[in-house]
A and B are shown apart, each in its own frame.
Chain A
């Protein structure tokens, strides 16, 4: 009924649409605030502080948590990223290949490694690879193993990102290059891939953030004291002291890197959005 005569319909509630919106938003804020206050009032702050905020314990973690743990986390992440990028590039090109079996192989790889938890890949690399190839050492020791495990996972995601980037380069670019006498491969390398990379820098940086966090799975590889990264470092100290403060500090160290990186990603995305007009 009310839908039929909306033209000069007097408002039943006597509120304008803007007033209604303000009212509904005010209710949302009030509910949110009430929930926060309720949580804050019912939590046992003393015990929380005891377990998570021991200043002397936190102090004990420095400088090792930076010079050793954070450094290792960064190293693991970068080596995994480098390997993943190289492998992801190959898989992306296979995915776009006119050769059927290449496409299928790449498709299977992507579905397989995107579908498995990264944790399982780490266990597989740590256990199955030494079992399957006895006597062979993955070059680089733990660093090599982490690069392999992180890279295998990252490659699957990056391959899809890079493929999308290559396909986002207008078809005319390849045609222009071919008409000038470039072979398909040369055109890819000189013309298409450089343009694709500009497109995929923001999503690849995002992948870097994900890898940074996934590097915590090194926990499951078994590492020496010097090879510990943030998560392992924090957990070891936590179980040693029966207190969770080290976990909190390690978490803050992750945020120290991931929040600025996230900011960079948003800037890059905004810039890319501008460039495409």
Chain B
């Protein structure tokens, strides 16, 4: 363990992947959810993780910023070993933005306060600087006019875009998305995906756990298919979605791409780029 650690801290610039997951295991009691994951994500790369529920996708994501503590294995983010016992996890998490399925906005704060409070408490920014960053990021997600509103008065799609803006306001190097559109009504999915597409185009390093196959096909540089706690297939969208080489991948995709799914896909591609 310690030998691999020293070799990796040697070259924190250059050829290192932005995120490097090595032989990651995670068990909840007797239930082994992750059974040895190896994954590299390069700077600026967008990786979509797909797979049936219970396959360990979300757990993998949550292990990257240590919301779940891995049972075994290592995770490196930007050259820092996140899983090292001595690492300041709060400092690491500042560099990793995370977006949740349930938005998790702070309901007792206004939209602007949701963005400014973390900047001020965690990054120590002064009031004016934090307000400026908040306003800029709300504009990026197209919600400047909701600055003074409380989360409860926003639609799900708007809440999720605020949650993305809140993560962006911290200036992260990496963004993790945990099924960001799964809790949304179908007609609200498009706006959120549009924001994520914009981020991808700007060169943000992203890992996206999603069921949105259109998004994965069009935006992802790589698609990873997980099942039973292992990565079954890892390749370009054309390979993994277009021409899967494993039976399990094919089975999963065929179930997903039934008529009901096709309808959702059409809607999302129609709405892309449109901001309300």
Contact = CB atoms under 8 A, between A and B. Distances in A.
A186 B121 contact: yes
Interface stretch (A11-19, A85-93, A173-181): A173-181
Contacts of B65: 179
A172 B104 contact: yes
Nearest to B167: A180
A238 interface: no
A195 B108 contact: yes
B140 interface: no
A173 B117 CA distance: 14
B166 to A, nearest CB: 7
Which of A170, A175, A180, A195 has the most B CB atoms < 10 Å from its CB? A180
A194 interface: yes
Nearest to A277: B152
* Interface bin, chain B: 20 to 34
Contacts of A181: 90-91, 93-94, 118, 122-123, 170
Contacts of B131: none
Contact of A190 (B91, B96, B121): B121
A173 to B, nearest CB: 6
Contact of A172 (B102, B122, B166): B102
A175 B94 CA distance: 13
Contact of A182 (B67, B90, B102): B90
A170 to B, nearest CB: 8
Given A181-B93, A182-B90, A182-B122, A194 B108 contact: yes
Interface string B75-96: 0000000000000001101101
A27 to B, nearest CB: 49
Contacts of A176: 98, 100, 104-106, 163
B242 interface: no
A191 B90 contact: no
Nearest to B62: A175
Contact of A195 (B90, B107, B170): B107
B118 A182 contact: yes
Given A175-B67, A178-B67, A198 B108 contact: yes
A233 to B, nearest CB: 43
Nearest to A275: B152
Contacts of A191: 106
Interface in A185-237: 186, 190-191, 194-195, 198
Contacts of B98: 176, 179
A179 B121 contact: no
A50 interface: no
B112 to A, nearest CB: 15
A40 B166 CA distance: 69
Contacts of B118: 177, 180-182
Nearest to B117: A190
B212 to A, nearest CB: 21
Query: Of residues A170, A182, A186, which shows the largest number of chain B Cβ atoms within 10 Å of its Cβ?
Result: A182
Contacts of A182: 90, 118, 121-122
A170 B67 CA distance: 15
A194 B109 CA distance: 10
Contacts of B100: 172, 175-176
Nearest to A182: B122
- Residue of B67, B90, B98 most packed against chain A (CB within 10 A): B90
A178 B106 contact: no
Nearest to A186: B121
B217 to A, nearest CB: 28
Nearest to A179: B98
A178 B102 contact: no
B253 to A, nearest CB: 30
Interface in A154-177: 170, 172-173, 175-177
Interface of B: 65, 67, 90-91, 93-94, 96-98, 100, 102, 104-108, 117-118, 121-123, 163, 166-167, 170
27 contacts: A172-B100, A172-B104, A173-B106, A175-B100, A176-B100, A176-B105, A177-B106, A177-B118, A178-B67, A178-B90, A178-B93, A179-B93, A179-B96, A179-B98, A179-B167, A180-B94, A180-B166, A181-B90, A181-B94, A181-B118, A181-B122, A181-B123, A182-B90, A182-B118, A190-B121, A191-B106, A198-B108
Top 10 A-B residue pairs of the complex, sorted by shortest distance between their CB atoms:
A176-B104, A181-B94, A179-B98, A172-B104, A181-B122, A180-B118, A181-B93, A181-B90, A183-B90, A172-B102
